[in-house]
Each structure stands twice: as structure tokens, then as C-alpha cells.
Amino acid sequence: MEQEFNIKKGWKIFGYAFCIAIISIMLYFLVDAIISNKNVLLWLGINLVSILLFGYGIVAIYRGKIVLNSDSIIEYRAFGQKELLFSEIKGFRIQAMKIILEPCNKSKSRIIIGDFNYIINGPSLAEFLVNRFEDLDKSDYDTEVSEAFNNPAIGDSVPDREQRIKAAKRVARFLNIGGVFIMIWLLIPTSYYYLPIILGLSYPLIVLIYFFAQQQIVALLDTGKKSVHPNLTVALYLSVGGLGLRLIIQYQALNATDCILPTAFLFVVLLLLFVLLLRPSKARKSNLWAGICFCIVYSISAVGMINCAFDGSRPTEYKTRVLDHYITTGRSTTYYLKLDAWGPKKESEDESVPKSVYNQMKKGDWATVYLKKGCLNIPWYFVAY
């Protein structure tokens, strides 16, 4: 017996309205660009992309549905459909309120059922699928637990392995909390100038040392799935992320290309060490990608921070006129001064400055720019009043 599961009428109307509104707004900007003869090609390209993307969305909303037969399930999409026989379905996974049906044969496509709360009789469909097929995430977790408790590299006996995994979870929790603390300390102004920077530079390396010592138990990347192995994602990336944000907020290199060679050198050294110390495991691929991303962010942040924060050179002072000033808002508020040419800068440029500097300056005032040599011989500067 065939049964259809369609998107709820209210959500269909909302989807249509949203897609049409976005297309209309993009067309308005295109017409405005044509009238003013500015950035016509740019807005033409943006409109083409938006029409294709949101036009596809309109068709997908119109055609989208799930059809349940006595022996198969069919997913209707914008320009096609997918069908899997029940006998071809290996099981299901649940990700962010989506049910993903995995086929036994990897050459066949998965069927992805969106949030069932947006589907008429969606909960009954979800209940049928959950009762009918195997939970692959639970199966993977059970297999992972069995492999971990029987892995001689983790411990000599099952109780010993269980104890070591519990201890690793406690340490990982402590390190992750430490990563949050260091990020906050790096971003909040305090009377301690060097201490949070030193911690920001050293903490990610300490986390990596612990990972290499316990890599049969601990993972670098949080896969979003339930796992017996604790991960160090928060500890590693929040600490180095805080370091990078502190660098962006506080310091400005005179010429970004001067940073390329030292950054590339540090990246290569870190990556070589990472690859050499990384042992074979089921999570090797994800750990390797996590390590590459870390090496990139840490190399950029560490080179910039060491160069600027530990620079003891005497600054060269330049005076320049404030041509304009403005504020941008969004996820964060940024304060800008448009400065006239000064020293090595031969053209006027917009410079982001702290709020305290911005509040003291107005159009026509003289600003002071301090240019320093840099601890790694990468010139950098900051603006004051």
C-alpha cells in the first residue's frame, strides 16, 4: 500500500515566500547597479547564482515528498527521485533531526529525509523507519567499545583498558575546559599582558603532546557521533583560535607578504613532526586533517604573535590626518579610521582601531602611527591618538 509524506502547507508557503523574496532583493540590486552603472557584472553574476539556487529551492519544495510502498521507499527531489528496496537498506543514521538511510551497496545513493517535524505525519514515518531498520550509529558505537576494550595497545586487561579510557576522558574534559578559559583570557583585556599570550602559544602544543602520548585512546576531532574515545577539539582549536583573534584585533603587519616565509617554515616543521608521530589507527585520516588545519592556524597565529607581542624595538612615529571614520556592526562591532598616506603607506587606507582610539578621533584630527621593526623582522604598526 502506497503512502505519501509531503511537506506541511505552512512550511511550503514560507519556503516559497523566502526564495521569491531573496530573488527579488537580488534583482533590485541588479537594477540599481545597471542604473548607476556600477558593478553590473558582479551583480549579474550574483543574480544568476541566486536565481539558480533559490529557483532550485522552489522546485524542490514543490516536488519534494517521501513515498512509502510495501517493499520500498522513494525520495522525490527537484529533478529526480531515489528509490531503495527495504532489502537494499543497511540501516539508518540520525543527524540534526534528519534520518539518513544507508544502502547496503555503496554504489547506490543514500536517502535523506529532512526534519520530520516539517512533514505531514512525519513522526509516524520516523517511528516506522526506526523500528524497521538497524541504528547504524549504535552499531558503530558498540563495535568501537568492543574494539577499544580488546585493544592490547590500550592496556593489559579489560579492567585496565576501561580504567585508562575513563582517566583519558577526565583529562580531555579538563583540557577542553582549559581551552575555553585561555581563549576568554586572550580576548578580554587584563593587566597581565604576556601571560595569556605565553599560555596561548604553549597550551595547544601541550594538548598535542598529550594526544600523541594517548592517541590510541584520544581523538583530535569531534565527529559529532557518540564515541568511547574522548576528543580534544575544544582544547586545541579554541586556544589557537583565541590566539589568532587576539592577533587580528591587536596587531597589523605593514606588509602581509613578509609573514609568508617564517609562517611556511613553521608550518612545514609542525606538519612533519605531526605526520612522523601519528600512529596508524581507524581515526588516522580525521586526525591527520585536524592536524593539518591546526598547523595552518597555529603557524599564522604564532608567527604574528611572537613577532609583535615580544618586539622590544623602539617605534618610529608618524603623524597622519584622519580623513573619515565609521563603524561596522554584525556579529561584532568594528571601528575604522580612514587615514591619509603616512611613511611607507603611499595611499590612504581604512584601519581598524580599538574603541578607545576611535572615540578620541574625529574627521580632520591628527592621528599617530607607531611603526615597529618586529621581533622576527616583520614590520608592524598600531594607531594611537
Same domain as 185, residue 127: no
What is the domain range of residue 53?
A: 3-134
Q: Quote the CA–CA distance of 369 and 385 in Å, as a whole number.
A: 8
pLDDT (tens digit per residue) in 362-372: 888 898 889 99
Q: Quote the CA–CA distance of 291 and 271 in Å, as a whole number.
A: 7
Is 142 a member of any domain? Answer: no
Give the pLDDT confidence score for residue 179 in this predicted structure: 94
CATH of the domain at 366: 2.40.50
Residue with cell 531503495: 84
Mean pLDDT of all residues in 48-70: 89
Same domain as 301, residue 325: no
Nearest 5°: the CA angle 191, 195, 199 is: 140
Give the pLDDT confidence score for residue 1 in this predicted structure: 59
Which of the four pLDDT bands, split at 50, 70 and 90, describes residue 265? Answer: very high
Same domain as 219, residue 198: yes
5 forms bridges with which residues in the sheet? 66
Q: Quote the CA–CA distance of 339 and 353 in Å, as a whole number.
A: 11
Phi and psi at residue 148, to the nearest 5°: -65, -45
Of 138-147, 176-185, 186-195, 324-333, which one has max mean pLDDT?
176-185
Q: Pick the last residue of a domain from 85, 105, 134.
A: 134
* The three three-digit cell numbers of residue 316, written as one number: 618610529
pLDDT (tens digit per residue) in 75-88: 888 888 888 899 99
Whether the predicted pLDDT of 72 surpasses 70: yes
Same domain as 321, residue 293: no
Whether the predicted pLDDT of 324 surpasses 70: yes
Nearest C-alpha neighbor of 295 from the set 276, 260, 271, 279: 271
Same domain as 208, residue 327: no
Which of the four pLDDT bands, split at 50, 70 and 90, describes residue 301? Answer: very high
Distance of CA 271 to the CA centre of its chain: 20
Where does 75-150 have alpha helices with state H?
122-132, 136-149
Same domain as 334, residue 305: no
Same domain as 275, residue 352: no
Give the pLDDT confidence score for residue 272 in this predicted structure: 95
4 forms bridges with which residues in the sheet? 67
Which of the four pLDDT bands, split at 50, 70 and 90, describes residue 356? Answer: confident
As for how many domains the chain has, the answer is 3
Same domain as 280, residue 378: no
Are residues 244 and 301 in contact, defined by beta-carbon separation less than 8 angstroms?
Answer: yes
Q: Pick the last residue of a domain from 282, 309, 336.
A: 309
**Which of 153-162, 206-215, 259-268 is the least confident region?**
153-162
Strand boundaries in 173-272, DSSP class E: 252-253
Give the pLDDT confidence score for residue 182 in this predicted structure: 93
Same domain as 184, residue 83: no
Distance of CA 373 to the CA centre of its chain: 33
Mean pLDDT of all residues in 327-341: 81
Same domain as 216, residue 109: no
Higher pLDDT, 259 or 2: 259
Question: What pTM value is reported for the model?
Answer: 0.74
Kindly state the percentage of the chain with pLDDT values over 70: 99
Provide the sign of the torsion angle of the four alpha carbons 304, 307, 309, 315, taken in this order. Answer: negative
**Which of 54-58, 90-94, 157-161, 328-332 is the least confident region?**
328-332
Q: Quote the CA–CA distance of 326 and 338 in Å, as a whole number.
A: 8
Mean of per-residue pLDDT scores for the chain: 88
Give the pLDDT confidence score for residue 180 in this predicted structure: 95
Distance of CA 363 to the CA centre of its chain: 38
Strands of the sheet containing 3-6, edge to edge, are 3-6, 65-68, 72-77, 80-85
Same domain as 300, residue 341: no
Are residues 66 and 5 in contact, defined by beta-carbon separation less than 8 angstroms?
Answer: yes
Q: Quote the CA–CA distance of 245 and 240 in Å, as a whole number.
A: 9
Residue-by-residue DSSP string for 262-287: HHHHHHHHHHHHHHHHPPP-TTHHHH
Q: Pick the last residue of a domain from 74, 109, 134.
A: 134
* The three three-digit cell numbers of residue 20, written as one number: 521569491
Nearest C-alpha neighbor of 350 from the set 309, 385, 320: 320
Is 144 a member of any domain? Answer: no
Residue with cell 520516523: 126
Q: Quote the CA–CA distance of 11 and 114 in Å, as a whole number.
A: 12
* The three three-digit cell numbers of residue 198, written as one number: 605565553
